[in-house]
Amino acid sequence: MGQRILCEVHNCKYWGEGNNCHADVIYVVSQKGKHAAHSDETDCKTFVPQA
């Protein structure tokens, strides 16, 4: 079963209608090392601006 990945960054290359992410792989990192306590301590490295 596939997962639905949501994204609200409309200027991302992988953004699709309905706020769906169309990237094959999602890469998220923590700003605090290997652990994060809150979502605002993370970054999506999959983001690529639309050309």
Tens digits of residue pLDDT in 1-51: 578 999 999 999 999 999 999 999 999 999 999 999 999 999 999 999 998
Residue 43 has phi, psi (to 5 degrees) of: -135, 140
Q: Is residue 9 within 8 Å of 15, Cβ to Cβ? A: yes
- So what's the pLDDT on residue 3? 85
**Per-domain boundaries in the chain:** 1-51
Q: Tokens 């290997």 identify what position?
A: 34
- So what's the pLDDT on residue 45? 96
Q: Strand ranges (DSSP E) for 1-51? A: 15-16, 20-21, 28-30, 42-44
Compute the distance between CA of residue 32 and CA of residue 41 in angstroms, rounded to an integer. 7
